[in-house]
């Protein structure tokens, strides 16, 4: 087998494309009802705010037990951390969690996530090895000594985790799983 030489920027892009291809499998099959399906009695979800917007369930300290997130909550969470990651790589002031608006169940959120992907790909494609070596601690403390390469790798890892969670929830709903007191 021939060994292919790749730069770090090419490697992180390859890894991202692999993770995204796994996400597309689920995005293409999500229905609007999948987003707010609650698989357990204790859930974090998105709630209408009365003015046409959505608010994410949230606690400043992690509850015990941790609520099961809905696909809607997970998709908002992806949009939040990814938007802030984009801000950091662009050297812009990071937005607050409450400033990230979730578009709502179904195709609006799918298109939002696809646009975040397009924005990320455009940005990552500009990063050479020198740019990857520049400092950025997000999402860790500023004194962690980490780089943009760490941030880009974290985005891949966080996306992979969230894709797996969304995929599992979608599959559970498709087979009618969930707690007896939820709509399947």
* Chain segment 104-122, per-residue pLDDT in tens: 999 999 999 999 999 999 9
Residue 184 has pLDDT above 50, yes or no: no
Domain containing residue 93 = 67-176
Question: Is there a domain that residue 54 lies in?
Answer: no
Residue 145 pLDDT class (50, 70, 90 cuts) = confident
Question: Is there a domain that residue 13 lies in?
Answer: no
Question: Is there a domain that residue 24 lies in?
Answer: no
Question: Is there a domain that residue 128 lies in?
Answer: yes
Distance CA 85, CA 118 (A): 14
Mean pLDDT of the region 131-152:
85
**Domain total of the chain:** 1
The model's pTM:
0.90
Question: Is there a domain that residue 58 lies in?
Answer: no
- The CA-based diameter of the chain, rounded to the nearest angstrom, is 60
Question: Is there a domain that residue 7 lies in?
Answer: no
């Amino acid at each position: 087998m021939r060994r292919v030489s790749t730069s770090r920027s090419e490697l992180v892009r390859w890894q991202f494309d692999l993770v995204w291809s796994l996400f597309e499998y689920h995005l293409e099959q999500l229905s609007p009802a999948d987003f707010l399906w609650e698989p357990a009695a204790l859930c974090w979800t998105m709630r209408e705010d009365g003015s046409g917007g959505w608010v994410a369930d949230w606690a400043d300290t992690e509850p015990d037990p941790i609520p099961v997130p809905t696909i809607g909550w997970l998709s908002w969470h992806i949009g939040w951390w990814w938007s802030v990651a984009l801000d950091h790589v662009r050297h812009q002031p990071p937005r607050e969690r409450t400033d990230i608006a979730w578009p709502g169940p179904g195709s609006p959120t799918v298109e939002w996530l696809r646009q975040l992907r397009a924005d990320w790909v455009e940005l990552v494609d500009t990063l050479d090895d020198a740019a990857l070596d520049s400092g950025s601690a997000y999402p860790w403390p500023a004194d962690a000594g980490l780089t943009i390469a760490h941030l880009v790798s974290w985005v891949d890892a966080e996306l992979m985790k969230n894709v797996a969670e969304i995929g599992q929830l979608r599959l559970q709903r498709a087979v009618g799983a969930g707690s007896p007191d939820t709509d399947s």
